[in-house]
Amino acid sequence: MLELLWLVPALPLGGFLALALIGGRLGRGAAALIGVGSSGASALLAFFVAGTFITSSRRVQVFRQTLWNWIDVDAFTPAMGLHLDALSLTMMLVVTFVGFLIHLYAWEFMEEEEGFSRFFAYTNLFVAAMLMLVLADNLLLLYLGWEGVGLCSYLLIGFWYQDAANGAAARKAFIVTRVGDTAMAIGLFLLFTQLGTLDIQELMQRATRQWPVGSSAAVAAAWLLLGGAVGKSAQLPLQTWLPDAMAGPTPVSALIHAATMVTAGVYLIARTHVLFELAPGVQLAVAVIGTATLLIAGCSALTQWDIKRVLAYSTISQIGYMFLALGVGAWSAAIFHFMTHAFFKALLFLGAGAIILTLHHEHNMFKMGGLWKQLPVTFWTFLIGSAALAALPLITSGFYSKELILLQAWNAPNGGAWLWAGGLLGALITSIYTFRMVFITFFGEAKQQAGKRPGTRIHAPLVILALLTMAGGFFGLPEFLHRALPPLPHGNESAVSELALETVAAISSVLGIFIAYLLFLRNREIVGQLTATEVGSALQRYWFSGWGFDWLYDRLLVRPFVVAARANKSDIVEQFYRIITDAARASYAALSATQTGQLRWYAKAIAAGAAVVVAIMVLL
Amino acid sequence: MTAAVVPMEYGLALAGILFVLGLVGVLVRRNIVFILLSIEIMLNAAGLAFVVAGSRWGQPDGQVMFIFILTMAAAEVAVGLALVLQLAQRFHTLDMDAASKMRG
């Protein structure tokens, strides 16, 4: 069964090829069958592969499959090779299974849209590229998948391309992540020139042999890879693209911009964790970036009115938690939170999509209200997802993963009270904005009548994801991950302290929900009074605009670039091309003057031409 | 070897003269019927050159080529006369310069 691993990414790729080549001629049913079917088959196969891997290979921790040599130039021989261990297995299962549920959901969600088969072609290509990314055994193949998901993200954000704003959002996402990708590419060059291979496992071994802890090469490589991760995972300072990426269809936001692609940076760092252990300074930076991002994004989420933007900022914030976990060396905790986050955030996005669909593409939460009676399934599943996002104690998976991260933030050798306090404050903010969203959307008076109710293909993914959201904390994932990743670092705190930290985290979560209840359900005037004050309204505007990062980058980078481009418009290269166009214009004018339309003139030209040809033949 | 009654140079000179006459006719005349006549003369000049050369080398190819030229000329006349009719109907003249609408 393990030998069929290559089919897992190949199936969605085949679906993409089929849809891209003949999708235009297929009906909607056939296109959906190929799109949903290929991703479903891939998920099923992934389950079988995972089952075989877990049950029959207690001793074999790794399965490698080399399909063919991709490039073979001297010492540079990256293969088309797949690497399956506990880490990539977890990623593969989440990507294929959540991907399949979202495909199923999109079948109904996109039913009325133009470009139905185009949508499934893109999403299939995305799943294939994402699987390539997580299964790759060398960094070059990983980079191929990395760029592939970036391309699909661009294509799908701009899916409704008739609206220019969507195109702008797509370009922004592409260009901002490109900054990180460039850093990552340079990191790859550095790793190859220094260590002479791109095979990840070999690379890690050579790195530990050749580089002492804190050596400049290790630090540089870790910084550059971190740059790539920060861009892809929308962390400080490259987080500005993700809120705008909500311009894409909602299933895309759930699949790419919540569950899978944006966590690729987390995967990259976990995969190359050896490098980060060799560069403790950079690892600390990862933790600091994560903490700062989770606080900044959490505050921004408090002030949004667009339900999808709330979720987008909350995604940035939750990935901040994963970075915090990576930064303190709790690699498995980060991947654990990745998995629970993939479940509950996909659930929340799909729930939001169901609301948006029934309310005729209404994104404004303040125009919703009172929906819990009209959309019961959506309400209950959304409530479960929100409880997990707010880390409601004991019954939700989000609590277990977030609590593990907070515990490690305090306990781990390179953690500390400050990181823990940041994470805890973030948890409080998280539960406030989450239940602000729930209370405003589902409670209060109904402001709009719901239109068409969502059907089975929307409800089924919601229910399945809700079940996973509740059960996801009990899989024992961290223990499983320790087959591939180092165990959780041990501090010197006692078990009492662990219980105390857990209690504090639980209290902060419940307290946040209570605050949200007070402010957004019981008495909304308090919020009005708060934002009416001068400081309050300034802060609200500041947070609403995402701490002004867009403004800053516009002034700092975009405008100077535009000015420089304008000033440099007629440089020497431009002159060269101008000569070409001028020559083409002049010869066009000269030749068109010869077209007099008079037959005798043409006859003369032919005679003269014949005379010239004869003369040339005679003379030469 | 058969005695060459007419030297080849004479025949080729005649063909050349006929060709130039035809060409001048094409270039100078404006009446489309005369232009077609002149083209006919040029074709026959070329055919004469073939026949003369064929007889010089004692080969039938030149005469075969002339039959081809005759066939082609017949086809050309069919098209040409159709053009004459069109010109007469649309412009009510036989002057070629009237039909110069396809100016650059």
What pLDDT digit, counting tens, does each position of B58-69 carry?
889 999 999 999
Best B24, B42, B84, B102 residue to mutate vs chain A (most A CBs within 10 Å): B102
CB contact under 8 A, B30 and A597: no
Q: Which residues of A touch B (CB under 8 A)?
A: 591-600, 603-604, 607
CB contact under 8 A, A596 and B27: no
The alpha-carbon gap from A592 to the nearest alpha carbon of chain B, in Å, equals 5
Q: Which residue of A has its CA nearest to B27?
A: A600
Give buried/exposed letters for A1-26 (b at 16+ CB in 10 A, else e). ebeebeebbbbbbbbbbbbeeebeeb
Please state the rounded mean pLDDT for residues A79-101: 90
Nearest CB among B96, B97, B104 relative to A595 is that of B104
Query: What residues contact residue A342 under an 8 Å CB cut-off, 6+ apart?
Result: A94, A98, A258, A259, A260, A263
User: pLDDT band at residue A588, thresholds of 50, 70 and 90?
Assistant: very high
The alpha-carbon gap from B88 to the nearest alpha carbon of chain A, in Å, equals 16
Q: Which residue of B has its CA nearest to A605?
A: B27
The alpha-carbon gap from B81 to the nearest alpha carbon of chain A, in Å, equals 16
Whether the CB of B99 is below 8 Å from some CB of chain A: the reply is yes
List CB contacts (< 8 A) between B94 and chain A.
none
Could you give the CA distance from residue A358 to residue A498 in angstroms, rounded to a whole number? 45
List CB contacts (< 8 A) between A600 and chain B.
26-27, 30, 96-97
Query: pLDDT (tens digit, 9 = 90+) per residue, A178-230?
Result: 999 999 999 999 999 988 888 888 888 898 888 888 888 889 999 999 999 99
Backbone angles phi, psi at A231, to 5 degrees: -65, -50
**In 3-state terms, what secondary structure has residue A214?**
coil
CB contact under 8 A, B100 and A603: no
CB contact under 8 A, B101 and A597: yes
Q: Which residue of B has its CA nearest to A592?
A: B104
Query: pLDDT (tens digit, 9 = 90+) per residue, A403-452?
Result: 888 888 887 777 778 888 888 899 999 999 998 888 888 887 777 777 77
CB contact under 8 A, B96 and A592: no
Nearest CB among B23, B96, B104 relative to A599 is that of B96
Q: Residue A491: what pLDDT? A: 63
Average pLDDT, chain A: 87
Query: pLDDT (tens digit, 9 = 90+) per residue, A292-303?
Result: 999 999 988 888
Token couple for A25: 């001629």
Whether the CB of B20 is below 8 Å from some CB of chain A: the reply is no
Cis amide prior to A237 (ω within 30 degrees): yes
In chain B, % of residues over pLDDT 70: 92
Query: pLDDT (tens digit, 9 = 90+) per residue, A463-506?
Result: 999 998 888 888 778 888 888 788 877 765 545 577 788 888 88
Q: Residue A545: what pLDDT? A: 82
Nearest CB among B23, B30, B103 relative to A597 is that of B103
For tokens 């020497």, what's the residue? A572
Nearest CB among A596, A599, A600 relative to B103 is that of A596
pTM of the model: 0.78
Asked whether the beta carbons of A217 and A257 are under 8 A apart, the reply is no
For tokens 């654990």, what's the residue? A336
The alpha-carbon gap from B47 to the nearest alpha carbon of chain A, in Å, equals 18
Q: What is the 3-state secondary structure (H, E, C) of A317-381?
A: HHHHHHHHHHHCCCHHHHHHHHHHHHHHHHHHHHHHHHHHHHCCCCCEHHHCCCCCCCCHHHHHH
List CB contacts (< 8 A) between B97 and chain A.
598-600
Q: Which residue of A has its CA nearest to B99?
A: A598
Whether the CB of B14 is below 8 Å from some CB of chain A: the reply is no
- Is the pLDDT reported for residue A277 higher than 60? yes
What's the N-to-C CA distance of chain A in angstroms?
76
Instruction: Provide the number of CB pairs (under 8 Å) joining chain A to chain B.
Output: 34
Whether the CB of B96 is below 8 Å from some CB of chain A: the reply is yes
CB contact under 8 A, B101 and A607: no
Nearest CB among B23, B26, B97 relative to A598 is that of B97
CB contact under 8 A, B30 and A596: no
Q: Residue B1: what pLDDT? A: 47
List CB contacts (< 8 A) between A594 and chain B.
104
- Is the pLDDT reported for residue B103 higher than 80? no
ipTM greater than 0.90: no
List CB contacts (< 8 A) between B83 and chain A.
none
Could you give the CA distance from residue A316 to residue A241 in angstroms, rounded to a whole number? 10
Nearest alpha-carbon partner for A264 in A352, A160, A376, A342: A342
The alpha-carbon gap from A568 to the nearest alpha carbon of chain B, in Å, equals 38
In chain A, % of residues over pLDDT 70: 98
Query: What residues contact residue A148 under an 8 Å CB cut-off, 6+ apart?
Result: A125, A126, A128, A129, A130, A132, A133
